C-alpha cells in the first residue's frame, strides 16, 4: 500500500483512507507494508490518525523522507518498528546529516535505511564514499535507479565494475515493483534496486486527492466511493502492456587469430580472479565444482599457449598475469558498452 502527495497543500483524508481500506479488506486483501511517499508526512495535521488507521491494516509502515528533512520527524508519532527510508542523492548532504541520523538511532530506531538514487555515468568515488559511510555506521543501504517507478537503465552494470564489490543475483522485490539484488562491499551487504514490473505487482496506491489506483503512474484512478464497483488491483499496469516485447541479449566471447574461442564463462572466471575471489567462491557463484574451475583455466591456458594466472608463493592466492589482465580489461570494456543487453 502506497500513499503519496501530488498536489501541494492537499492531504489524504483519514476518513476516506479508512473507508478505502475497509472496502479492500472486505475483498480479502491484506497488506504487509505501507509506504508513505509524501515529501514530509509529518506536516499532515492528522498524521497521528493516519498512523492509527494504517496500523490497523498493515504490519509495517515505511516513511520516505529526504535527508534534509530529518529534523522534522516527530519521534512521538512513529514506532521503533517502523522503517525510516532516508533519500539522499549526494554524499556531502548525507555526511552533513550524520549527527541527526545518530540522534534517531539513539531513540531506538534501528530500521534506518539509506536510499541513494544512481544514474548511469555516476561517479564511482561518490558511490564508494556512500558504501564506506554506511559500512562504518552499520546502516542499511539500497542503491536505486531513480525515483519510484521512474524508467531508468538497469544500474547493475555500474556496480559490476567497482573494486571490492560483488554483485549477486536477483532475490525478490522491493516496494512491489523493484527487482532487488544483494551485493557486498567487502564484508558489508547492500542492495541494488532496478525497475522491474510484476504481473500482478501487488500494489494499491492512494494520492492526496483521495483517489485510489494501482500505482502513481496509473491513468485509472477512482474515488473511494467507486471502489465498491471497481477493483484497483486489477487495473492495467502502465509499465506492462500486454504486447510482446523483444529485448536483445548479447553473449560476449573472444576469438583469437588462430581460431581459439574464449567463452563468456571463462571470461567471467578471469574477471572474478582479478577481483580477488577465491576459486571455491567462484565455483559457488557459477554453480560448478572448484575442480571444474581449475580445469577450465588449465585448458584455456593450454589452448592459448600462454600463462593467464599466477600463484603467490607466500599467501597461496592466485591472480592474473599481464596477459590475463589484458583479456579481462577488454572483456569489461565490451561488457560496459553493451551493459543493457548482457
All domains of the chain, ordered by start, with CATH?
Answer: 2-234 (3.20.20.70), 254-341 (1.10.10.10)
- Which residues partner with 191 through β-bridges? 142, 182
Predicted local distance difference test score (pLDDT) of residue 240: 62
d(CA 284, CA 196): 26
Strands 165-174 and 178-185: antiparallel
Residue 27 carries which DSSP code?
Answer: T
d(CA 44, CA 24): 24
Predicted local distance difference test score (pLDDT) of residue 281: 82
pTM (predicted TM-score)? 0.65
Q: What is the dihedral of CA 148, 141, 101, 43, to 10 degrees?
A: 10
Predicted local distance difference test score (pLDDT) of residue 153: 52
> Average pLDDT per run of 10 along the chain, which is 342 residues long?
58 91 88 82 83 87 90 83 89 93 90 86 83 94 71 67 82 78 90 69 84 84 90 75 63 90 93 87 83 92 94 87 94 79 60
d(CA 99, CA 313): 47
Q: What is the dihedral of CA 233, 237, 241, 245, to 10 degrees?
A: -110
Predicted local distance difference test score (pLDDT) of residue 299: 94
In Å, what is the CA distance from 339 to each residue of 87, 143, 149, 197, 255? 26, 17, 21, 20, 20
Amino acid at each position: 500500500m502506497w500513499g503519496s502527495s501530488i498536489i501541494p497543500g492537499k492531504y489524504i483524508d483519514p476518513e476516506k483512507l479508512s473507508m478505502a481500506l475497509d472496502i479492500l479488506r472486505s475483498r480479502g486483501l491484506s497488506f504487509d507494508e505501507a509506504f508513505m511517499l509524501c515529501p514530509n508526512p509529518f506536516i499532515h495535521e492528522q498524521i497521528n490518525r493516519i498512523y492509527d488507521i494504517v496500523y490497523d491494516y498493515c504490519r509495517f509502515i515505511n516513511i520516505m523522507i529526504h535527508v534534509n528533512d530529518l529534523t522534522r520527524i516527530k519521534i512521538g508519532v512513529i514506532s521503533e518498528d517502523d522503517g525510516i527510508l532516508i533519500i539522499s542523492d549526494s554524499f556531502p548532504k548525507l555526511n552533513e546529516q550524520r549527527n541527526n541520523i545518530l540522534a534517531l538511532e539513539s531513540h531506538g530506531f534501528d530500521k534506518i535505511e539509506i536510499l541513494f538514487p544512481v544514474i548511469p555515468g555516476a561517479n564511482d568515488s561518490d558511490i564508494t564514499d556512500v558504501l564506506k559511510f554506511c559500512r562504518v555506521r552499520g546502516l542499511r543501504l539500497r542503491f536505486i535507479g531513480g525515483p519510484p517507478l521512474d524508467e531508468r537503465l538497469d544500474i547493475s552494470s555500474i556496480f559490476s565494475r567497482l573494486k571490492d564489490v560483488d554483485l549477486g543475483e536477483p532475490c525478490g522485490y522491493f516496494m512491489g515493483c523493484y527487482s532487488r539484488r544483494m551485493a557486498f562491499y567487502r564484508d558489508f551487504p547492500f542492495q541494488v534496486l532496478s525497475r522491474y514490473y510484476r504481473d500482478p505487482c501487488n500494489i494499491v496506491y492512494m494520492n492526496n486527492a483521495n483517489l485510489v489506483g494501482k500505482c502513481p503512474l496509473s491513468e485509472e484512478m477512482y474515488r473511494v466511493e467507486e471502489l465498491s464497483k471497481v477493483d484497483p488491483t486489477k487495473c492495467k499496469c502502465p509499465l506492462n502492456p500486454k504486447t510482446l516485447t523483444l529485448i536483445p541479449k548479447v553473449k560476449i566471447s573472444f576469438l583469437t587469430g588462430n581460431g581459439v574461442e574464449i567463452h563468456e564463462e571463462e571470461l567471467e572466471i578471469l574477471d572474478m580472479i582479478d577481483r580477488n575471489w577465491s576459486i571455491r567462491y567462484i565455483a559457488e557463484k557459477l554453480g560448478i565444482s572448484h575442480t571444474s574451475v581449475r580445469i577450465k583455466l588449465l585448458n584455456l591456458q593450454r589452448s592459448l599457449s600462454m600463462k593467464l594466472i599466477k600463484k603467490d608463493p607466500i599467501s597461496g592466492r592466485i591472480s592474473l598475469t599481464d596477459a590475463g589482465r589484458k583479456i579481462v580489461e577488454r572483456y569489461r570494456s565490451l561488457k560496459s558498452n553493451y551493459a543493457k543487453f548482457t
